[in-house]
Amino acid sequence: MIILGIDPGSLVTGFGMIESDEHGERLLAQGTIRLDGKLSHQNRLRTIYEELHILIKKHLPDVCAIEMPIYGNNAQSMLKLGRAQAAAMLASLNLQVPVTEYTPKEVKKAVTGNGNATKEQVRYMIRSILAISKETEIGLDASDALAVGICHIHRGESGKRKPHQSWDSFLRANPDRIV
């Protein structure tokens, strides 16, 4: 199984592609989509969609695991983050790749055993789990995305969360998130 993990952001979106089979987990690709803050928010969303669309077509993941925005001090920032998540979800769903969402605490707990772990602790564990050498550069946004993928491997396949097969199924499962 190939899992695409995504840590959405309106300025930096992290991604990580992991292959999981009976021999364990292997890193296929990781990185970030860095967006120019001078661009309009709409153009940044289009870039997220387009870049992830290309990545999905290249690696053909079986599922997309994405971190969902939960909290924030600024309503405008949360709105932008939610839109970035939606652009990422749409890139997956339009290519028939089901999407499963995980909270930041779920991801951190699945990877480190601590739902309040720091980004550096998450990166350390991701390096260990995926046997990523110290010479390989891995940013915090990419390691967060890989952590979302690892969380799916450890939790998603257990049936605790079911992936959304379409926008209709997402909307039916989340009526409280429709404005």
Q: Looking at the annotation, which residues are catalytic?
A: 7, 67, 141
Contact 66, 8 (CB under 8 A): yes
Contact 102, 152 (CB under 8 A): yes
Residue type, 37: G
Q: How many CB atoms lie within 10 A of CB 12?
A: 16
Partnered with residue 66 across adjacent β-strands are: 6, 101
Residue ranges in the chain assigned as alpha helix (H):
41-59, 75-93, 104-112, 119-129, 140-155, 167-173
CA distance 102 to 166: 17
CA distance 46 to 88: 10
Cα→Cα distances 43→11, 37, 66, 136, 150, Å: 11, 10, 21, 31, 30
